[in-house]
Chain A
Amino acid sequence: MAGPGAPGVPVARWKRHIVRQLRQRDRTQKTLFVELVPAYNRLLEKAELLGWISEKLQLEPNDVTPATLQGPWEEESGPDSDQVPPPTTLRVKWQKEEEGLRQDCGKMAYQVVEKSAALGALEATLEERQSRLAALEACAAELQEARARQTQQVDAQRALNVAQRAAYEALRAQARLREAALRRLEEEAHDLLERLVQRKARAAAERNLRLERHEKAKQARMSLELKKAAKRIVSISESPNTIGGIREEAETLALPAEPLSLKSGTGEKWKRPFRSASATSLTLSRCVDVVKELLDFKKRRGHSIGGAPEPRYQSIPVCVAAQPPTQVQDVLDAHLSEVNAVSFGPSSSLLATGGADRLIHLWNVVGDRLKANQTLEGAGGSITSVDFDPSGSQVLAATYSQAAQLWKVGEVQSKETLSGHTDKVTAAKFKLTRHQAVTGSRDRTVKEWDLGRAYCSRTINVLSYCNDVVCGDHVIISGHNDQKIRFWDSRVPCCTQVIPVQGRVTSLNLSQDQLHLLSCSRDDTLKVIDLRVNNIRQAFRADGFRCGSDWTKAVFSPDRSYVLAGSWDGALYIWDVDTGKLEGSLRGPHCTAVNAVAWCSSGSHVVSVDQARKVVLWH
């Protein structure tokens, strides 16, 4: 309804003109007639009505005309003559009329009575309504009172709320102050800690300085002595015996170096004779100790020179000759149900077994008996694998509860839980580098873990259900349900190699020299893979040997001369690696499938566990 742009006074001129004209029009065309026309129409109606009535009236007289015509005619004969007959007839008529009237009267009286009765009833209802109304009003008053009370209560409550809010605000303010104080204290603590660290660093620097100085002094002394010795004159001609003595000395000095060179050459050559000579374990172990010491020495020197960046466990193959087991030494019902995993510690005297009862038992091998050492509790599910770290101080176990757990030997409760897998964890192994571990799971991943911070440092998608995993220096090898063994380099993101076998891989075992891999698969075959050329070197089968489950574990002997696996019927099968022939099968106290076997690193003992709670120690 927008009028033109600016409805100013001049613009309104035409509009005023229109309004004025319209008014003028209505005055002349409408106002004059607005009363007249309806009035005329009323008159017309009345006239019509009048016409109609008069028409009717004209018709009625027509009926009467004969009488009126008769009238004068009779009047002529005698005006009273027609009044003669009426009295009697009139009386009868009147009587009839009277009777009729009386009847009407009676009817009316009856109606009056009826109406009054109805009135009474109505009044009664009215009264009743009024009483009800009064009651309702009383009720309303009551309710209003109640409402007033409630509002009072509400007011009181509100006042209370205000007071409480004030108190709350005060408390909050106080809390804020406290928090500020806490923050200040924390800052102070941080400062103190920093200062402490600085002081420690300073102390260390001082110590280093002192040591250096000490070293320098020593060197100076040494050079002084050397000079002194150089000055001394020795007469050679006088005593030839002393020359022989010196030579002898040189020989004795050379002797300890000899085993070193032998060992650093090929250990193989002189391991054999020892075994065939069936040296006593005492002498053997002494010899081992000597070798070990020497190697340790060498390694230490190597470290100080090279300054290796990664702290590593020193893994030394100490077994020179393993003996295949021949007889049962001890049998125990170790667990409450199936025993899934067994592993020797690096010291050969400590043994761990893990079972479906969520417990890990540690055992000491004392003489030819197993002595219970400790029970590790707190696993979230059935144990599928146990592993000692190379120092023998920690135990890593994989569980069905989608996690791997870490215990310290000597502590009953789990120290760390490595969670992150989304399905059963089937294998958990320590790496040779310190504080690192690898786990394999049914969720088709292998994860690498940093145990120092307990976080997953790498997740590898391995494409298939992983049954077992082992790791070398830089390589992780996983065995899968899709009948493949996959190799993963820790420096390369993708799979470096796949070796197919003919059945689901149930276990992997790496020889101590990390050059050979033993796999066991559901085609009841054990295979040795040479990692230098990455192909299958040998396959071992035997009549009667059948893989009992998807997690049946097979192992190398520590000197890699034999491979050992347990069969579904409880027998142990031993093959010679060099000849590829079955060395023998042992039947013992197992009545059910053997789940896992372990060969101690000194080569003297073998332990097997089965599905019926039994742990058997063999010699």
Chain B
Amino acid sequence: MTDDKDVLRDVWFGRIPTCFTLYQDEITEREAEPYYLLLPRVSYLTLVTDKVKKHFQKVMRQEDISEIWFEYEGTPLKWHYPIGLLFDLLASSSALPWNITVHFKSFPEKDLLHCPSKDAIEAHFMSCVKEADALKHKSQVINEMQKKDHKQLWMGLQNDRFDQFWAINRKLMEYPAEENGFRYIPFRIYQTTTERPFIQKLFRPVAADGQLHTLGDLLKEVCPSAIAPEDGEKKNQVMIHGIEPMLETPLQWLSEHLSYPDNFLHISIIPQPTD
């Protein structure tokens, strides 16, 4: 159990070293220094980049500033995906630190959602939590909670307080003793190779014969192209939180321990790096 708690901590305190540089076409009064930051994997970009925004605004004229957005190697970064997911999906094979370009102009309306304030992030986060609980417990747990519990979840994430967050989130991870797991596992599988943003299906943690489903079972069922044939060469990496769990890992355990704070298991499938 202590191991499990350590896993939760490691997941929560995962960090990605990032270098923010201003887009070269942005008009500045003087040269903008790059800004380095350790981004929490479980958080959202617009939630933790206040300092970045401030740093670059200093060198810009007031009238040139509009909504900030980020881009990596030409791909606009969706602020409503957790940072860890964005990194795993787009940049896990590149060298550290992660180079993100900061834009203040020409917002890519068709790729990104606007993020007018932190309330928008909170609303998105809570809707994810509720969707996950709908899958896990038919929304029973989240509906029994009080408003202040919901607030505590959000504040725990916003202020990076592990204990504050897990005091409430623990209840969302419980399931009736007479069953072997949740009703359905809330997961999303992301692939860079397809147009589809992600795959999400109903998948039970326990098979009809009572056997616990594993990560491998899930992929076989939902995304068979992700796993290599028995003899074939491994072509893809299955990555959660920057690691590759073994395919025999039980899905229920993964959902309890490797879910992001929004209670979803965000799984990235990326091509095996060639080198």
Question: A residues engaging B (CB < 8 A)?
Answer: 1, 3-5, 13-15, 17-19, 21-26, 28-30, 32-34, 36-37, 40-41, 44, 47
Known: A14-B248, A17-B245, A37-B37. A22 touches B17 (CB 8 A): no
In the bound assembly, the distance between CA atoms of A25 and B243 in angstroms comes to 7
Least Cβ distance of B64 to chain A in Å?
A: 20
Residue of B nearest to A4 (CB): B250
In the complex the two chains form, is A29's CB within 8 Å of B6's CB? no
- In the assembly, what is the distance between CA of A24 and CA of B244, in Å? 11
Stretch in B8-16, B141-149, B189-197 with 4+ CB within 8 Å of A: B8-16
- B97 interface residue, CB < 8 Å from A? yes
Q: Tell me, rounded to whole Å, the shortest Cβ–Cβ distance linking B243 to chain A.
A: 4
Measured CB to CB, the nearest residue on chain B to A10 is B248
Contacts of B96 in A (CB 8 A): 28-29, 32-33
Q: How far is the CB of A190 from chain B (nearest CB, A)?
A: 67
Within the complex, what minimum Cβ distance (angstroms) separates B179 from chain A? 10
B245–A4 contact, CB under 8 A? Answer: no
Cβ of A25 and Cβ of B14 under 8 Å apart? yes
Point out the residue from A4, A22, A34, A41 that lies within 8 Å of B212, measured CB to CB: A4
Q: Which residue in chain B gives the minimum CB-CB distance to A16?
A: B3
Expressed in whole angstroms, the minimum distance between the Cβ of B251 and any Cβ of chain A is 10
Asked if B243 and A18 sit within 8 Å, CB to CB, the answer is: yes
Establish whether residues A1 and B4, one from each chain, have CB atoms under 8 Å apart when the complex forms: yes
Per the bound structure, the CA–CA distance linking A23 and B55 in Å amounts to 32
**B23 contacts the other chain (Cβ, under 8 Å)?**
no
The answer to whether B7 touches A19, judged by C-beta atoms less than 8 angstroms apart, is yes
Question: Known: A17-B246, A25-B14. Is A37-B4 also a contact (CB below 8 A)?
Answer: no
Q: Is the CB of B72 closer than 8 A to any CB of chain A?
A: no
B33 within 8 A of A: yes
The reply to whether B37 and A44 contact each other, CB–CB distance below 8 Å, is: no
Determine whether the beta carbon of B3 is less than 8 Å from that of A34: no
Q: How far is the CA of A30 from the CA of B14 in the complex (A)?
A: 7
**B83, chain A: closest CB distance, angstroms:** 12
- Further 19 A-B residue pairs, CB within 8 A, beyond A14-B248, A37-B38, A44-B35: A1-B4, A1-B256, A3-B1, A3-B253, A4-B252, A17-B245, A22-B7, A22-B11, A22-B241, A22-B243, A25-B241, A29-B96, A29-B242, A30-B13, A30-B15, A30-B38, A32-B96, A33-B17, A34-B15
Known: A1-B1, A25-B14, A29-B17. A34 touches B38 (CB 8 A): yes
Task: Pick the contact of A18: B38, B249, B252 (CB < 8 A).
Answer: B249
A30 to chain B, nearest CB (A): 4
* B3 contact set on A, CB distance < 8 A: 15, 19
Which residue of chain B is the closest to A28 with respect to CB atoms?
B96
Write out the residue numbers on chain B whose beta carbons fall within 8 Å of the beta carbon of A44.
33, 35, 55
Measured CA separation A37–B20 after assembly (Å): 12
What is the interface of chain B, defined by CB distance below 8 A to chain A?
1, 3-4, 6-7, 10-11, 13-17, 33, 35-38, 55, 96-97, 170, 173-174, 180, 212, 241-246, 248-250, 252-253, 256, 258
List chain A residues, Cβ under 8 A from B1.
Answer: 1, 3
Q: Which residues of A contact B4 (CB under 8 A)?
A: 1, 3
Q: Which 8 pairs show the lowest CB-CB distances between chains A and B?
A: A33-B17, A21-B243, A14-B249, A22-B10, A14-B246, A30-B15, A25-B242, A37-B36
Asked whether B33 lies within 8 Å of A33 as measured between CB atoms, the reply is: no
Partner of B15, one of A17, A21, A29: A29
- Judge whether B17 and A18 touch: CB under 8 Å: no
A26 to B11, CA, bound (A): 10
A-B contact pairs, 24 of them (CB 8 A): A1-B170, A1-B174, A4-B252, A14-B246, A18-B246, A18-B258, A19-B3, A21-B243, A21-B244, A22-B10, A22-B243, A24-B243, A25-B14, A26-B13, A29-B16, A30-B13, A30-B38, A32-B17, A33-B17, A33-B36, A40-B36, A41-B36, A44-B33, A44-B35
Q: How far is the CA of A4 from the CA of B248 in the complex (A)?
A: 12
> Considering only CB atoms, which chain A residue lies closest to B5 in the complex?
A1
> How far is A24 from B245 in the complex, measured between Cα atoms in Å?
13
B13 cross-chain contacts in A, Cβ below 8 A: 26, 30
Q: Which of B14, B35, B243, B256 has the largest count of A CB atoms less than 10 A from its CB? A: B243
Contact call A18/B15, Cβ cutoff below 8 A: no
Identify which of B11, B173, B246, B253 contacts A4 (C-beta below 8 A): B253
Q: Is the CB of B7 within 8 A of A18?
A: yes
- Chain B residue nearest to A25 (CB atoms) is B242
Shortest Cβ gap from A13 to chain B (Å): 7
Residue of A nearest to B6 (CB): A19
User: What residue of chain A has the Cβ atom nearest to residue B256's Cβ?
Assistant: A1
Residues of B within 8 Å of A41, CB to CB, are 35-36
CA of A583 to CA of B31, assembled, Å = 147
Cα-based distance from A28 to B243 in the complex (angstroms): 12
A15 to B252 alpha-carbon distance, docked (Å): 13
Interface centre among A18, A22, A23, A33 (most CB of B within 10 A): A18
Give the distance to chain B from A217, nearest Cβ to Cβ, in Å: 101
What A residues does B243 contact at CB under 8 A?
A: 18, 21-22, 24-25
**Which chain B residue shows the least CB distance to A51?**
B30
Contacts of B55 in A (CB 8 A): 44
B69 to chain A, nearest CB (A): 22
Min CB distance, B90 to chain A, in Å?
15
Chain B contacts for A29, CB-based, 8 A: 14-17, 96, 242
Known: A18-B243, A37-B37. A23 touches B10 (CB 8 A): yes
Closest to A41 in B: B36
Task: Tell me, in angstroms, the Cα distance from A5 to B179 when the chains sit together.
Answer: 12
Chain B residue with Cβ nearest A18:
B245
Docked pose: A15 CA to B256 CA in angstroms: 13
Residue of B nearest to A30 (CB): B15
Question: Chain A residue with minimal CB distance to B245?
Answer: A18
CB-CB < 8 A to A40: which residues of B?
36
> Using Cβ atoms and an 8 Å threshold, which residues of chain B touch A24?
243
Distance in angstroms between the alpha carbons of A19 and B38 in the assembled complex:
21
A4-B13 Cα distance, complex, nearest whole Å: 25
* Complex: chain B residue closest to A45, CB-CB: B55
Contact B97 A33 (CB under 8 A): yes
Roughly how many angstroms separate A34 CA and B17 CA in the complex, as a whole number? 8
* Contact partners of B258 in chain A: CB under 8 A: 18
On chain A, the residues within 8 Å of B248 by CB distance are 14
Q: Give CA–CA (A25, B256) in the complex, Å.
A: 20
Within the complex, the shortest CB–CB distance from A353 to chain B, in Å, comes to: 85
CA distance A21 to B257 in the complex (A): 14
Q: How far is the CA of A30 from the CA of B170 in the complex (A)?
A: 26
How far, in Å, is B207 (CB) from chain A's closest CB? Answer: 13
Which has the most chain A C-beta neighbours within 10 Å: B1, B15, B170? B15
CA–CA, A36 and B97, complex, Å: 11
Greatest chain B CB density within 10 A among A25, A32, A34 is at A25
CB distance from B246 to the nearest CB of A (A): 4
Q: Are A37 and B10 in contact (CB under 8 A)?
A: no
> How far does the Cβ of B266 sit from chain A's closest Cβ, in whole Å?
15
A13 touches B212 (CB 8 A): no
- Residue of A1, A3, A26, A34 with most partner-chain B CB within 10 A: A1
- The chain B residue sitting closest to A7, CB to CB, is B1
Complex: how many Å from CA A515 to CA B228? 122
Check A5 against B212 for contact (C-beta < 8 Å). Answer: yes
Measured between beta carbons, the chain A residues less than 8 angstroms from B38 are: 30, 33-34, 37
Q: Which residues of A contact B241 (CB under 8 A)?
A: 22, 25
**Which B residues are in CB contact (< 8 Å) with A18?**
7, 243, 245-246, 249, 258
Q: In angstroms, how far is the closest chain A Cβ from the Cβ of B256?
A: 6
When C-beta atoms are compared, the residue in chain A nearest to B214 turns out to be: A14
CB nearest to B96 among chain A residues: A29
Contacts of A34 in B (CB 8 A): 15, 38
B38 to chain A, nearest CB (A): 5
B256 & A37 in contact (Cβ 8 Å cutoff): no
How long is the Cα–Cα vector from A186 to B241 in the complex, in angstroms?
93
A216-B256 Cα distance, complex, nearest whole Å: 115
The CA-CA distance from A14 to B38 in the complex, in Å, is 28
Q: How far is the CA of A34 from the CA of B13 in the complex (A)?
A: 12
Q: How far is the CA of A26 from the CA of B4 in the complex (A)?
A: 17
Q: Which chain B residues lie closer than 8 Å to A22 at the CB level? A: 7, 10-11, 14, 241, 243
- Give the docked Cα–Cα distance between A6 and B17 (Å): 38
Q: Which residue of A lies closest to B9 (CB)?
A: A22
